[in-house]
Chain A
Amino acid sequence: MTDYKFDTLSLHAGQSPDDRHGSRAVPIHQTTSYLFDSTEQASALFNMEVGGHIYSRLTNPTVAVLEQRLAALDGGVAAVAVSSGMAALFLTVLSLTSQGDHIVASSQMYGANINLFQHTLGRYGITASFVAPNDPAAIRNAIQPNTKMVFGEVIGNPGMDVMDVPAVAEITRKAGIPLVIDGTFNTPWLFKPIEHGANIVIHSLTKWMGGHGVALGGGIIDGGNFDWGQNDKFPTLTEPHFAFQNVNLWEEFGPLAFSTRVRTEGMYNIGPCLAPMNAFHLLQGIETLPLRMQRHMENTSRLLEFLTSHEQVSWVRHPLLADHPDHDVAARLMPKGAGSIIAIGVKGGREGGRAFIENVELASHLANVGDAKTLVIHPGSTTHSHLDEKAMRAAGLTDDLVRISVGLEDIDDIIADMNTGLKAAARATGSR
Chain B
Amino acid sequence: MHIRMDDQDIFVSTGGRDFDPAGDVLLFIHGSGQSHLSWLLQARFFANRGWSVLAPDLPGHNLSGGEPLESIEEMADWCAALLDALGVKKAVVIGHSQGGLIALETARRHPDRTRKLAVIGSAHAIPVADPLLDMARDAEGKAFRFMVSWSHGTEGHRHDHTVPGQSHLLFGNKVMGRNKPGVLLTDLLACNSYKAGKDAAAAISCPALLILADRDRMVPKKFGLELSEMLTDSRVVVIPDAGHFLQSEKSVETNAALRPFFLE
Contacts and interface: CB of A to CB of B under 8 A. Distances in A.
Contacts, number: 126
A255 B16 contact: no
Interface stretch (B82-90, B122-130, B159-167, B186-194): B159-167
Contacts of A44: 45, 48
B158 A78 contact: no
Contacts of A71: 159, 165-167, 170
A72 B159 contact: yes
B171 A256 contact: yes
A282 interface: no
Interface stretch (A51-59, A124-132, A176-184): A51-59
B166 A3 contact: no
Contacts of B167: 68, 71-72, 76-78
Contacts of B40: 253, 256
A13 B158 CA distance: 5
B160 A15 contact: yes
B10 interface: no
A50 B41 contact: yes
Given A44-B48, A68-B159, A251 B165 contact: no
B252 interface: yes
Contact of B154 (A14, A16, A59): A16
A106 interface: no
B178 interface: yes
A259 B165 CA distance: 9
Interface string A383-404: 0000000000000000000000
B62 interface: yes
Interface in B143-195: 145, 149, 152-155, 157-167, 169-171, 174-175, 177-178
A4 interface: yes
Interface string A1-25: 1111000010011111000000000
Interface residues of A, number: 50
A286 to B, nearest CB: 13
A410 interface: no
B162 A50 contact: yes
A47 B44 contact: yes
B71 interface: no
Nearest to A262: B165
Given A3-B149, A3-B157, A15-B158, A51 B170 contact: no
A12 B158 CA distance: 7
Contacts of B149: 1-3
Chain B CB count within 10 A is highest, among A1, A2, A63, A69, for A1
Interface in A269-314: none
A67 B164 contact: yes
B28 interface: no
Nearest to A219: B165
A63 B164 CA distance: 8
Interface in A239-274: 244-245, 247, 251-256, 259, 263
Interface in A311-347: none
Contacts of B11: 251
A232 interface: no
Nearest to A3: B149
Interface of A: 1-4, 9, 12-16, 43-44, 47-53, 59-61, 63-64, 67-69, 71-72, 75-81, 224-225, 229, 244-245, 247, 251-256, 259, 263
Given A59-B164, A225-B177, 7 more contacts: A3-B145, A9-B159, A52-B162, A61-B164, A71-B170, A80-B165, A255-B175
